[in-house]
Structures are given as structure tokens and as C-alpha cells.
Amino acid sequence: MTELQIGLIGLGATAVVGVFAYNKWQEYRHRKLAEAVFKPQHEDVLLGDGPKVTVKPVPTERNEPGLGEEESAASSERVEPMFADVEPEVDAEDAYVPAPEYTPPPVSAPLAAEPPPAPAAVAQAAPAVPAPAPAPERLLGKRLEDESSDLPASALPAELLDPRLEFIVAMELVEPVSAIEILQSQRDVLYRLNKPVHWLGFNERSREWERLASDSNLHLRRLRVGLQLVNRMGPVSEGDVAIFANAMQALADELMAVADMPSSRVFDQAAEIDRFCAAVDLEIGVNLISRGNAFSGTKIRALAEAAGLVLGIDGLFTRYDEAGRAQFSLQNYENTPFTAESVRTLTTHGLTFVLDVPRVDHGERVFMQMTELAKRFADTLQGALVDDNRQPLSDAQLDHIRREFVGKPQATMASFGLPAGSAQALRLFS
């Protein structure tokens, strides 16, 4: 071997020894630094005999059992575990103040810092995030009919259909159908009936039942159809009920619905309602007769319009209340009706003021208003108030008529649950 080779071998061995020695020195240095950093300067607060660490709860209304004198003294000094190069003095009152966020001190070697909290702990401490609200366009995109189709319908108003007065058939449709299509379906068959038929549909937008008109633009899932059992023509016949029931079954088949029919006691019910109507169905007439000269049509019209009466196509002058309901009417005592053309040349020897008792609310008060107006007409036209036998009517007789033939029948109607002038009474006495 040459001297060069021997020298290179020696240098390599020296380098290896140096690197090994340097690594040993670095390992020793890091171990000493780690011991200096993590070595506690206080006794173990959990195992040693030093002061115990206590945490006071936030003061509340609860009273916890108190500590003894020795334990209270021991708890007056709160000791926090800390690094060797920091020795702060912590007052006991600082237990109420949250500790600042810990930041590890810089070190000269790549020591592992305090391990971060476990993922489970982080997930537990994180605040709950509310679920995102549904997109507005999804809500707006739904049809209102679909949203409300499963909601229960409101109660059927008795002023529209009353099970005491009508034979009511209920239908629930799977798909909405036009009201016009429904009304047209059995029109020719129902036209043969002698009693009115009332159609109701449930408006999904307003959540209310509505009476269907021939030009209605509703699309319906809920339908109620009622055959009136009684009117002033008498009770319903068996033939009318049969025609109506068959028409409703045909309509249900066409709409793919089920027709819910009422019980078969309908004829007994109709007879009972008809007897009730016969007992209270009264019209009170007060006649005004001329004493000599006939009454002029133009003068009659002037007096009537001044009193708020309106001439209608039925040939009567009628007074209406604020709701548009008829209170009483004035008609010709003779056979000729009043018209806008004939009244200009018409003359008559008598007039009749008429009160339809079951169709007028507060009948006694309206009767008094009517008789007061009749007296004014009599004074102006030089006539006399008489009954149907053309016998003079005194104030005492008028008061007797008011009590016996207006007040009592209306009290009977109210006790039966069908007040005079109500929507049911207007249908029943038509």
C-alpha cells in the first residue's frame, strides 16, 4: 500500500469516528434540554402532599355543602401546572377567569409540541351547524293545490248547506277537476227536478267552501252537492230523490270518485221540516184603500222612492236593508203590477204593504216601520188602513198583529235553530 492509500484510510476512519461522536453529543444535548423543559418544579398536585387544585363553580342560586376550615385554606391558593422557566403566582380569585390560550415556547431542537386535541374532542366542542334552509325556488315551484290537498277541509257552513234541509252527497276527487265541467256533467238530468240543487266546492287557496256558479274557474278536489228537501211547494218527492241519487252516482263514476250518500230517513226528515214550515210561513198584509178618488201612479212612485223603496222587475216597490235583504214591499191592491212604463199613467183604488215573516230578520221592528210608512201614505193619499175584510185597522189591532203573527212565529223559528231572515230560512221559504 502506498502512503496515499494509508492516508485516505486514516482520514475516512477519523471522519466516521467524528460523525459518530457528533451524533452522540447531539443526542445527549437534546435529552438534557428535554429534561430541562418538561421537568416539573412543583410536587405532583394529584399524588403529592401539596395544595389541591380546586375549581369554583359560577355562583348560582343553589347552595352547595361548605368545606371545612382546613380544606378552605388549602383551596385559597390555586396552583396551575407550568413549565420550568415560568413560575407565576396565581391568586385564588383567578379561578373565575378563563386561562389564556397556550402557546408553546420556542426551542432550539425539533421537539414535539404538546399534542393537539383528539378529533373526537374537537368534534364535541365544535358548535352545531344548523341545516341549510331549503332553496326558495323549491318552495315556489310547488303548486298550492298539491301543498294543501292533504289538509283537512274546514267544516261545511250550514248557511251554504244544512243537513237538516238538504240531501247532501259528498265526493273526494283524486285529481282536481274544473267546476264548469262538473256542473255541465248532469245538467240535463237534474233539470227535471222540482227542488233546487246546491253545488259547493272547496277552494284550496282560500281554504273555504264556495257556492259554484256556472262561470266558476275553480278546480276542485272536494265537492258537496245538496238537493233541497222542502220549499214553499212542499216536501221533496221520491222520484226527485231517485233522479238526484242516480245523477250523483253517474257523476262520481265519471270523476272516478266515491259518492257518500246520506241515510234513507230523508223522507221522514222532509215531512218534519214541511210541518214546521206550515206553522210559521206567514205573510202580513196591510191594505190602504182610497176613500173616493183613485191613487195616481206617479204620486205613488214619488212617495215610495222618497221612503227608500225600489221598483223591481217583479212589479213591487221593495225596501232593502244595508245587507241588501228585502224587508217589506208595496204592491198594487188591484191585479195590475207596477212597471216603470205603466206607473206613469196607472191609477188604483188601493195599495198593500206586505211583510214576509220567515224571511225578515227582526220582524217586529220591521213591521212597526212598515205600518208607520203606511200611515204616512194614508195621510198623503187620503186613504184608510183596512184588513182583508176591508175593516179599519186601529193601533191596538196593529200591535196585536205584531205580537201574535210576527213575534211568536219568529220566536218559534229561533227555537228550532232556523232564525227568520237567515240563509237557511231564505232557502227554505222560497
**Entry field: residues in the chain:** 430
Q: What cell numbers appear for 15 in the block? A: 471522519
pLDDT value, residue 248: 95
Instruction: Name the helix (H) or strand (E) containing 15.
Output: helix 3-38
pLDDT value, residue 144: 37
Given its phi and psi angles, is residue 58 left (phi above 0), alpha (psi -120 to 50 degrees) or beta? beta
Q: What cell numbers appear for 276 in the block? A: 214546521
Residues whose CB is less than 8 angstroms from the CB of residue 383 and which lie 6 or more positions away in sequence, other chains included: 288, 289, 290, 291, 295, 350, 351, 377
pLDDT value, residue 67: 45
pLDDT value, residue 34: 58
Please, are residues 333 and 348 in contact by the beta-carbon 8 Å criterion?
yes
Hey, is 271 helix, strand or coil?
Answer: helix
Tens place of pLDDT per residue across the chain (430 aa): 687 878 888 888 888 888 788 777 777 776 776 565 455 554 544 445 544 444 444 444 444 444 444 444 444 444 444 544 444 444 444 444 444 444 444 444 443 444 444 444 333 444 444 444 444 444 333 443 444 444 455 688 999 999 999 999 999 999 999 999 999 999 999 999 999 999 999 999 999 999 999 888 899 999 999 999 999 999 999 999 999 999 999 999 999 998 998 876 899 999 999 999 999 999 999 999 999 899 999 999 999 999 999 999 999 999 999 999 999 999 999 999 999 999 999 999 999 999 999 999 999 999 999 999 999 999 999 999 999 899 999 999 999 999 999 999 999 999 999 999 999 999 999 9
pLDDT value, residue 121: 38
Q: One-letter amino acid identity for 268? A: D
Q: Are strands 208-211 and 347-348 parallel, antiparallel or unpaired?
A: unpaired
Q: Which residues pair with 209 in a beta bridge?
A: 202
pLDDT value, residue 145: 42
d(CA 418, CA 62): 65
Hey, is 387 helix, strand or coil?
Answer: coil
pLDDT value, residue 138: 41
pLDDT value, residue 301: 96
Where do the H-state alpha helices sit in 281-415?
A: 297-306, 363-381, 395-401, 408-415
Please, are residues 284 and 360 in contact by the beta-carbon 8 Å criterion?
no
pLDDT value, residue 241: 94
Give the number of C-alpha atoms closer than 13 A to the C-alpha of residue 402, restricted to the C-beta side.
Answer: 18
pLDDT value, residue 297: 95
Given its phi and psi angles, is residue 89 left (phi above 0), alpha (psi -120 to 50 degrees) or beta? beta
pLDDT value, residue 35: 63
What's this model's pTM, rounded to 2 decimal places? 0.63
pLDDT value, residue 146: 45
Task: Report the 10 Å Cβ neighbour count for 6.
Answer: 10
Q: Which residues pair with 289 in a beta bridge?
A: 350, 384
Q: Map out the domains of the chain with their CATH numbers.
A: 154-277 (3.30.1400), 281-428 (3.30.1400.10)
C-alpha closest to that of 375 among 388, 366, 384: 384
Hey, is 258 helix, strand or coil?
Answer: strand
d(CA 74, CA 52): 7
pLDDT value, residue 39: 54
d(CA 296, CA 343): 8
Q: What cell numbers appear for 130 in the block? A: 344548523
Greatest alpha-carbon pair distance for the chain in Å reads 173
